[in-house]
Structure formats: structure tokens, C-alpha cells
Structure 1
């Protein structure tokens, strides 16, 4: 026997021989949860109530009832809702008078001062309806033309006074006359030939008065007057010929512009390929790449490599950034904090790096990022030097200059910018991505191509050289021959 059936059997009066219908389930339970039956909607015993229903009857569910419901009712939106016996619930304590007053104030209309059933945010619905009716009555007594208000409503058809109505009718007659002339007289230049009857046009306009509501100068001829042409035969022939001439002119212009665009794209593509081939044949061209601690503005360089156009390594070194290498960065390039112990700092190799790059073209894949990391390292380098100079000045004079930190940062940034301005950097990523031509409708340009160099500085430099060889393979022999003739060398360019 279920819990509900047992409770109902215990509460049957001794004078009765049958169960109370209100305490008997109307249907069989769907399932049981911890021995408690779960009913469909409307199948549970009628006397059981949900917690919300008990609160509406000013009853509170006890802790024991909360832990041991008598049944559940299955709902689509809230799942299985517990049911409780109202007789075992506790009566709510009456609210304090101050709370009742606050609750009544929230339900009081600001217009009529009456207390309504629901919480109000402004006037009640009765006052809003009254105000809307008053507004409609005032609108009916206001002229739509001159805003004159009178005692009696204006006619509903036009809602205008006599003067405004007369003016409206005159404007309508003027529009009708202009339309009649437009549809019954040839629209050709300096042609006044009559094309149809005004009487028939008036009859058509009476059935299609919407033609004159807006200014419909963009309608095709068939919409103005079915079966009639807006031009006489000579004018229509001339008009069609003019339209055909304009279409031919527009088509010729479009084809010419497309041809010029394709020619410009072909010239740009050839220039990119020749640029790559010339860079490979130039012995003074260098390729630079860095690996860093991340992608942020404060990321430090942990590896730097410089190769020449023949693929010879001129500089390949790890750099101690002075900060730990994050795990996500180490997972990409494989350089950990432990691997940088004993490595030189950026300041240690700056003189050598300056000697390599000074006066030579330096190619970088995504130069914006690498130049930004070089700028950050240079700023920190010159900032340390400026701090040492400020410390020496303070020691010699016995005073600390005002805004010394601000001046040191500004001077370091100025020196870093001067160092970068003295170098000649060129980007490879944009020309190579344009050469691949993987167009993106979302970005409106060619997608940037990944550099498959293994995420190590020297390997990425070699990958840049591979990109240049792919781009300039059709012209590399021409530039190699020219460089050999000028005393250059072509080793490593094929």
C-alpha cells in the first residue's frame, strides 16, 4: 500500500464504510520516487496541494512536509512537483500593519488613489483607459490641417475644418489633373501628342486611387496605364534606342574597368613574384624571426634568429627574458624556463644584432608583431641605462630629479624608436598571403597563411625563404643570372 493510500485509509471516519473521494487518487501513478507515487496532471488525490497553492491559502509547508511529500504531480515545465496535505501545514502569521501599508502603497493608483489587486507602476488600467478615451475625443475635435480645436468632432473621413478641407481638395484636383496629363499625353521630349481619353483615365483612377497617394514617379509604364504606352510610336522608338545606347555604353565601360582591374592585379602579382626572386638573389637580404613568452604587449623574446638569403645562420640564440615562460607558450615552441638558464639577455646581443641589421634589408613574417617585440626589448634596454644614469646623477648631486621615472621612460622609448627607424624591415606575410589568394568574404581580403616552420626562430626563417622560393620560382633564374653577372652569387637560391 502506498503512502497516500495508507494516510487516506487512516483518516476515514469510523461511521463511513467507503473512502473519501477527495482523498482517493483519480488514476494510477506513473512511477514512484523513493516510494512516493508520481501522478499525471489531474490524477493525484484532490485534497493535496502544491507549495504555491498552500502559500495562496496563507499556509506554510512544515519542515517535515518538505522532506516527505505525500505525492508528486508531473508537469512539462517544472518536472515533478511535490504535493502536501493542507491539514498538516502551518498557518501563516499575520503581517505587521507597516508591511501591509507598504504593500497597499505599491498597489495604489497615482491618479485615482484606489488600491488595486496588482502592483502598479504608474496609473491603473482604468485611469489609462479613461485618459486614452479623452485623448481620442480631443483628437476627433482637432483639425488635422491647422490643429484648430472645436466643440463638435470633425468628419471622420477627413477630420478637417472647412478651409483645410477645401485646400486638401484643391491639392487633390491639381494632382489628378497632373496625372491625367501625364498618362494621356506623350512623355517624349517636346511631344504633345494625345495618347488616350481623360474620361477613361478618370474611371481607372477612381478604381485605383492609391496611384496618387505618394509621389509615384518610379512606377513602370504598365503600372501607370494598363494597355497604353506613355510614349507615341516615334518617341518610343527613339527612347528605346537611347536606352539601348546607354546600356551598351555602360556595358562597355564595365568591361573596360574589369579589364583594367585584371591587368592591375596581374601587374601586382608579377611585382610580388619579382620582389621575392630579387630578395633571394640579393646577398644583403636577411630574414629575422623571434619566439616570445606570449602574444601580449608585455611579451618578452626568448629566441632570436637571423639568416641570410642563402639560408646561412648568422645569429641563432636563446635569450633570458628575466621572467618565467608561461606553460601555454612553452607548449607551442618548446622553450621552457629551465632551458633559458645561463642564456644571454637581449642587451648582451644587441651590439651584434645591430651590426647584422644595419644598412641591410630585413624580411620578417608578420613584421608588425616582431617589430613590436623588438621595440619592447629596446625600450627596456634603454630604460635600464637611463635608470643607471639617473642613479649616478642622484649620487653625484645628492638630489633625486623630479619625474625621473617619467623622463627615463620617454627617453628610452625615443631611443628605441630611433634604433628601429635606422633599420629597413619588410613584411613577407601579406605578399605571400596575396600570392596564395585564399579570399575571405568575412574579412574582405586574403586570409593570412600560417608559417610552417616548427615554431623555432631558425626554422621559421627557413620557412620564410621557402615562401619566397615558391613566389619567385618563375623569375629566380633571371635575377640569379643578373646577380652573377654583377659579381653576386646564386648559391642556395634554387
Structure 2
């Protein structure tokens, strides 16, 4: 901590009869600001007689409780902020430490190797002992052969740090590698070809220029595939064959790339057409319904406050508010406009479950962001079946006269199984992903198409109609085709112009 340079305590005080103030108690500068009425001085501007707690502790003085609560000033430091300053005259002397505490403090500063007491707390040997041990290790390493670990009295040569036998073996391996490399770079690299493409003398000179032969400690060699002397690696026939092979491989790679790119574009076109046909077919399918819900939030335990189901023609099959049994948060109410007061007297999810089951059973249920709405349905179903399980557990406890210990766990497991069974018999399809892929707003960050917001006003029925509008936009190119197919042969016959035939209809059908 930074300290404040002040006059030594006990200095000669100026008599009170003198008119001038004591220089040791006069601030050397104006306060920077006031903290709860106490001045905060810059560095070196506070009255010199004031001390920090650290300075008082160094003088074996303790700050009293009154001083702690009401410092006389603060000094601003770079590392510790505004540090309080106190009057040394009002501090109390520290009690002498017990001998046992002093012994413990000395033990923490005693080196475990040399036994000397240092100025700082040690965790292991002191720095002198560590440096001495490192020097000894380096001396031993210099006297140890890097090949056979033989230790001798004198250090080994610093260049290779090996005995004569290990050094001779190292040089022999280096010569063998050099000879093999010379053969590799001076013989044609063509497969099965043994023609000479350069001289070993020039290759050795090339190595010598780059210190591979001049430096005895260097045992590595350049990779011939990347570094070689300045001559061709292949003879003319081998080079011609090699270039022809490279051209052939490049042509094959180019053809494969073009084929894969063409197949990818065709697959994307087929997928785009399938999305559009799926949307057009859903609009004329009497077995299609659209579902949407409004909830109390986005958490896993959010409750449904509004539920709507429409058929593919936009007719409302179910549109009702639901009492969630919990207050609607203000942030959720600001989005969909449904407050807790508006839900007074509304039915619960259990009240409309039978009707909802009849509307969805055997139908294709389209949902914008299927994962979220199905998750809310799963939560509501779990709570519904949990209430039934609780009633059965209460009846069981009343009949047996005791309450089972795991009644809650068994009821929760049973409720979750029932909710999963209800959802498994339903067919839910997502509209958000196909519609976002149809829009094609690509995101480099996500590496996929951005999810498009649903412009429905955040009310269940209007969101369902917005889903139908998304389907109409996607399936506009095939709307007439699927509408005629759904109307039947009689309607198609009435729709023909005079003199048209079925062959004309087949020719005019989009492909």
C-alpha cells in the first residue's frame, strides 16, 4: 500500500499561545472532494501528522473503534482508492505478542534447507537454497552424457554433451542420413527411375552453405519435398508423365466438384419445391389445423394464458383465455396485452383439455416454433395429470391410514408419462423452419437462415392466421394445382374452357 510521508510523532509542538498554526497539522493542498463531510486529499496534500492503519501498525499502534468509524481525512491512492487517515495521538499501543505466536511467525520464515530466518514467509526452501540447487543440477547435467547418462568428473563438450562412443554413434547416424539424402536429391524422383539429376558434390556444397554440415551439433536435414538444390527433381520423361498425371487429377477433381455442386443445387431446388408444395397442400387439407398459445413468459415453468386452434380455411375451432393459476408478469402482459384481471373467470387448461384432444386427434397440427408450444403443452399436461395423481394418492392415504414417503415422486413420474403419451399420439409439424428457409435470410454468424418473426400481434388466433398467411406465401406457385386436386374431377371438368380436353390439362400442369 502506498504511504504518506509525515513528520515523526513526538516532534516539538508549537505552544497554543502562538498565533500561527502548527505546520505539521496544516494540509499542504486543497481537498479534491468531501466524503460524508470528510476531506479527501491528493497524494502528498494531506496534513503530515496523519497516518494510515498500515503506518500505525508499523509503529505498533492500533486504531480505536471511534477512529475507525470517524477518520479525520482520506488520501487518494492509485491502487487502493481513498484510504482513511487517523491521528497517531489518539491510537492505542498494541499488546505484545505471546511467545508462542512469535515462535510460529519465526517458523514460517525459517528455511527448511539452511535453517536461516528470512524476512518473508517461505513456502519451501528460500531463494538462496533454490538457486544453489539449480546450479548444482546444471553442473550435474553438464557432466552427464546425453546418450548413455554416464556421469564423469569433467563437463562434456557443450555442443553435443556426449561421450566419445555416443558422439561417434551420433556422427555415424548423421553421415548415414546425409548419404541417404544425397541419393534422394540427386536421383530422379520419378517412380522406378534411377537417372541422375545432379551431383552429390553440389548437394554437399548446398548443405554446407546452410550450416547443415558446418555445425556439428546440427543433426537434422531439410525435407527433400520442400528443400533441394537448384535442379529439377525429375528427368524430362518423368516430369512429362508427372505433369500429365497432375493435369488428369486436377481435371478429375474439377469434374467431381462440378458434379457435386450441380447435385447440391438440384437438391436445394427439390427441397425448395417440396417446401412450397407442402405449404400449398396444407392449405387445402381438411386434416390440417393450426395451433398457437400465449404464455406467462419464456421460462420452463411458464403457463398458457390463451390458446387458439384454427383449421386450414381460417375458421376458428378454439379461441379462449385460460386461467394459469398464477399472476401474469408485467413484461409478458406488455407483449400480448393479457393481464391477470382479464383472466378472472376464464377456464383452466383442464377445462378445455377434452375439447383440445378432440380437435387435434388424428389431425396434422401446424405450429410456428413447434418446440416452444409443444413444451408449454407438455408442462400444462403434466400439471393436469399431477392433480389427478395427487387425488389418487390422497384417496390411497385415506384408505391405508398412512402417507407413502415417495408419493410426490411417484405422482410426478406418472404425470410425465401420461403427458408424453398424450403428445405421442398427436402429429405436430413446424412452420417456422420451412418458412425461414423459404425466405432465405442467410446468417454468417449462425451458418443458417435466420428465423423469421411471426407478424400476428401476439394473440393466439391472430398468430394462427399469420401462420396461414406464411403458408399462402410459400405455396402460391402451386395453390391452383392443389386447389383443383382437392376439388375433385367434377370441379376440374367445370373449370375447363370450351373444347379443352384432359390432355390439355395435363400439358398445362406445372412440372
Q: TM-score range by the shorter chain?
A: 0.7 to 0.9
Aligned residue number for residue 358 of structure 2: 355
1:257 to 257, 260, 266: 260
Instruction: Note closer, same or farther for the CA distance 1:113–1:303 as it changes in structure 2 (3 Å cut).
Output: same
Deviations 1:61-117 (A, max 9, x none): 787798445xx8776555677888988977655433333222212111111111101
SS at match of 1:362: strand
1:138 to 113, 136, 140: 140
Match of 1:244 among 243, 247, 252: 247
Q: Residue 477 of structure 2 aligns to a residue in which SS? A: coil
Corresponding residue number in structure 2 for 1:199? 201
**Aligned partner of residue 304 in structure 1, secondary structure:** strand
Tell me if structure 2 keeps the 8 A contact 1:275–1:472: yes
Q: Deviation per CA, 1:279-336, whole angstroms, max 9, x where unpaired? A: 1121221100111222233222211100011111110001122222233322322222
Could you tell me how far apart the structure 1 residues matched to 2:376 and 2:122 are? 61
Conserved in 1, the CA contact under 8 Å of 2:28 and 2:47?
Answer: no
**Is contact 2:308–2:320 with CA below 8 Å preserved after alignment?**
yes
The farther-off stretch of 426-435 and 246-255 is 246-255
Indicate if the aligned counterparts of 1:283 and 1:488 stay in contact, CA closer than 8 A: no
CA root-mean-square deviation? 3.9
Shift of the alpha carbon at 1:38?
Answer: 5.7
Query: For residue 17 of structure 1, what is the aligned residue in structure 2?
Result: none
In the alignment, structure 1 residue 113 sits paired with structure 2 residue 110: no
Aligned to 2:170: 168
- Match among 224, 228, 231 for residue 224 of structure 1: 228
**2: CA distance between counterparts of 1:24 and 1:314?**
88
Structure 2 CA distance for aligned equivalents of residues 350 and 297 of structure 1 = 20
Change (3 A) 1:406 1:178: same
The verdict on how the C-alpha distance between 1:76 and 1:279 changes in structure 2, with shifts beyond 3 A counting, is same
Deviation at 1:123, TM superposition (A): 0.7
Over 3 Å counting, the alpha-carbon distance change for 1:31 and 1:416 in structure 2 is closer
CA–CA distance in 2 between the matches of 1:44 and 1:261?
A: 77
Question: Are residues 386 and 33 of structure 1, via their aligned partners in 2, closer, same or farther at CA, if it must alter by over 3 Å?
Answer: closer
The corresponding residue for 1:284 is 287
Summarize the Cα distance change of 1:110–1:382 in structure 2 as closer, same or farther, 3 Å threshold. Answer: same
Q: How does 1:143-158 map to 2 (within 5 A)?
A: 143-158=145-160
Distance of aligned partners of 1:107 and 1:218 in 2 relative to their CA distance in 1, 3 Å threshold: farther
What SS does the corresponding residue of 2:306 show, helix, strand or coil? strand
1:460 paired with 2:463, answer yes
1:334-392 Cα deviation digits (max 9, x unpaired): 22222211111222112211211111111011112211222222233233334444544
Aligned-residue offset at 1:148: 2.5
Q: Quick check: 1:142–1:159 contact (8 Å CA) kept in 2?
A: yes
Please, which runs of 5 or more residues in structure 1 have no aligned partner?
14-19, 490-494
Q: How many equivalent residue pairs?
A: 474
Distance 1:86-1:402 versus aligned 2 partners, 3 A rule: closer
Number of the residue aligned with 2:503? none
More moved, 300-309 vs 402-411: 402-411
* Distance (Å, rounded) in 1 between the aligned partners of 2:484 and 2:71: 92
Select which of 169, 185, 190 maps to 1:188: 190
Query: 2:326 matched to which residue of 1?
Result: 323
Change (3 A) 1:88 1:261: same
Contact persistence 1:394–1:400 (CA under 8 A): yes
User: Partners of 1:385 and 1:116 in 2: how far apart?
Assistant: 75
Deviates more, 1:397-406 or 1:287-296: 397-406
TM-score calculated relative to the size of structure 2: 0.80
1:492 alignment partner in structure 2:
none
Alpha carbons 1:30, 1:40 under 8 Å: kept: no
Match of 1:474, SS state, is helix
Instruction: Return 404-413 or 44-53, whichever deviates more.
Output: 44-53
Using the alignment, how far apart are the partners of 2:46 and 2:426 within structure 1? Answer: 85
Measure how far apart 1:235 and its partner are. 2.1
Shift of 1:151: 3.1
User: Where does residue 481 of structure 1 map in the other structure?
Assistant: 484
Structure 1 residues 399 and 126: alpha-carbon distance in aligned structure 2, compared to 1, 3 A threshold: closer
1:324–1:230 Cα change, 3 Å:
same
Partners in 2 of 1:486 and 1:444 — Cα distance?
Answer: 46
Contact 1:440 1:446 in 2 (8 A): yes
Once residues 91 and 397 of structure 1 are traced to their aligned partners in structure 2, the CA distance between those partners, rounded to angstroms, is 74
Change beyond 3 A, Cα 1:50–1:306: closer
Asked if the contact 2:67–2:86 (Cα under 8 Å) also holds between the matched residues in 1, the reply is: no
Residues 320, 344 of structure 1: 8 Å contact kept = yes
Counterpart for residue 499 of structure 2 = none
